[in-house]
Amino acid sequence: MTTPSRRDLANAIRFLAIDAVQAANSGHPGMPMGMADIAEVLWNDYLRHNPKTPSWFNRDRFVLSNGHGSMLQYALLHLSGYDLPIEELKNFRQLGSKTAGHPESHMTPGVETTTGPLGQGFANAVGFALAEKLLAQRFNRPDYTIIDHRTWTFMGDGCLMEGISHEAASLAGTWGLNKLVAFWDDNNISIDGQVQGWFTDDTPARFEAYGWLVIRGVDGHDADEIRTAIDTAMKSQDRPVLICCRTTIGFGSPAKAGKESSHGSPLGKDEVTATREALHWPHAPFEIPQPIRDAWSAHADGQAHEDKWDRLFDHYAVAYREQADELLRRMRGELPRRFAATADAYIAKLQAEGPVVASRKASQMAIEAFAPHLPELVGGSADLAHSNLTLWKGSKSVASSDPDANYVYYGVREFAMTAISNGLALHGGFVPYDATFLVFSDYARNAVRMSALMGARAIHVYTHDSIGLGEDGPTHQPVEHLASLRYIPHNDVWRPCDAVESAVAWRAAIERAEGPSCLVFSRQNLPHQARGDAQVAAIQRGGYVLKDSVGSPEYILIATGSEVALAMQAAEQLGDGARVVSMPSTSVFDRQDAVYRDAVLPKACRKRIAIEAGVRDFWRKYVGLDGAVIGIDTYGASAPAEKLYPHFGITVDAAVAAARAL
């Protein structure tokens, strides 16, 4: 074979995708075929990465927001030299493979974020670009541009239809994220067919209105036009860039190019043969000629990029030792050595002082105590900073050029906020938190699910946690939300009962490197609970005995948050046989060993009552069908909180009566 042309290199992507989808009899060949030429130019001429070190910190980030076209990314990773052998591509979409139907960051080397739910990858990319901006402000020095990388994202019409793209694009423009470059696959096709019947937005004008530099009308199959567009994009000093690429879905397929039939189904044996002939690709399935493999390999260039950066960082570390040490620590995802001792001291101080505050206020107090010791902590709220109480005295807007910028005013954008937090977490160097009212976690829920699926170290703060918020009424009063969040696998949900539990919850969330946490706080004041040292230490186990019975318990009352105080009062009326278990995190409690769980909830005691101002069925796993649950299985009402609890039967008397009826 002679020296391969750019089209030959792009065709390697196309046929790896075609062959993998055909072998699996499942998948999306059309997008990889349509975006192959764009991907070839970007990955071979611009993308700075090292396949041998996928986690090299100053690498460019590539995000495939239109994740159904996953074989495009798998082909790119395989061809450029990542640890993704051809056998994995042959095993596309099969159990145990590294080539899932949509890209999975926890599974496939070189995949930066899990994509599939359309628009979220784009929002993650905004988070990546924001992370780069903030780290550059913090650590770069004259002659030492230590943080200097770009975020590149591919997205299709579907991503742009999703509302999250509007939210995220608006923020990216406001923040001037000039290291973010998005490629729009403008092919006029979605699964249902030609998009003119449901997607007629003036997308370039929309992004221009958001403050983006828009490069219009690029032929996505012309390498020279693509290069010119990228060169222009890289000159942007103050704006993110949208490159609008006209493409043909299923490019090269004689019968299916430009049609929805190539979107989400294999081409079929005969059409695969016809496409090979049309694109002059005489090679067998999964066969890549060596000259093409050699041209694609990024090993040498990638290692050169990383080595050059390593040399620069070595000099930086001599000139700026403190900053270098901090950056290395944050790159490793390690917390400061003194954080644990700082947290211990603060929690002990709270227990001794016993403040009576709303847990949302206790949350703010914890941020004030912890944040000065955690420069990696970056937070924000969806236009509710003064209600969520997420601001602290060291907060500085990320819209500024301050080297210590650490606070994000997201506006009313719960979904994008959460997905951007995921991007910040996945990028590395930050522990992000975001915030809204608990009832509006519905807007963010799929991004919370993605946090858990990917194991992103993100903290989702939700205040106004029950009917206790009062007069705003049922639209703002969460009922099913606690249960819904708890049902997300690998998601830790904390609902603390006082300032001490709130601080422990914050500490646990900060220290949890392997996944997200949801911290749920009250609007109303909550009484302080007396505890011994052993009880304080046990809070971190998710559930513990707050008040014990005399001898073996006759009754066990289990409660969270504001209802712990109610359980304590009910126990006083029930007498010496009543035990109160505070369970701020059911997921953490469930991970404890059986000996501990049985010590807190002994099997011999069947008179169990759970108390929480939310749907009742969730608690049957702890009280059984023979126990009782005090909760609410309907929507709330607009009235003062002190009127609502008795109205809905969440009272001390109700708990006592339920216990005695068992």
CB 364 within 8 A of CB 392: yes
| Residue 437 three-state SS | strand
Does an H or E element contain 598, and which?
Answer: helix 594-600
CB 175 within 8 A of CB 149: no
Q: Give bridge partners of residue 167 from the DSSP assignment.
A: none
Nearby residues of 551 by Cβ (< 8 Å), 6 or more positions away? 576, 577
Sheet holding 459-463, edge to edge: 407-409, 377-381, 431-437, 459-463, 517-520, 492-494
- Could you give phi then psi for residue 365, rounded to 5 degrees? -60, -40
User: Could you tell me how many helices (H) and strands (E) the chain has, helices first?
Assistant: 27, 20
Does an H or E element contain 184, and which?
Answer: strand 180-186
- One-letter amino acid of 31: M
Opening angle at CA 648, ends 647 and 649, nearest 5: 95
Q: How far apart are the first and last CA of the chain?
A: 83
CB 369 within 8 A of CB 340: no
Count of Cβ atoms closer than 10 Å to residue 533 Cβ: 9
- Give 616's DSSP letter: S
Nearby residues of 366 by Cβ (< 8 Å), 6 or more positions away? 346, 502, 503, 506, 507
Which position has the token pair 């890289």? 234
Is the torsion defined by CA of 529, 532, 535, 537 positive or negative? positive
* Distance, CA of 79 to CA of 294 (rounded, Å): 9
Q: Residue 414 catalytic?
A: yes
- Could you give phi then psi for residue 581, rounded to 5 degrees? -110, 120
Tokens of 529: 């609970």
Does an H or E element contain 322, and which?
Answer: helix 321-332
Closest CA to 128 of 109, 115, 144: 115
CB 444 within 8 A of CB 167: no
Tokens of 629: 């649950």
In the set 40, 306, 414, 501, the catalytic residue is 414
CB 117 within 8 A of CB 163: no
Angle subtended by helix axes 441-454 and 120-139, to nearest 10:
70
Q: What is the DSSP string of 203-268?
A: HHHHHHHTT-EEEEEEETT-HHHHHHHHHHHTT-SSS-EEEEEE--TTTT-TTTTTSGGGTSS---
Closest CA to 418 of 492, 504, 508, 516: 516
- Give 192's DSSP letter: T
| Residue 651 three-state SS | coil
CB 479 within 8 A of CB 636: yes
Which are the catalytic amino acids?
414
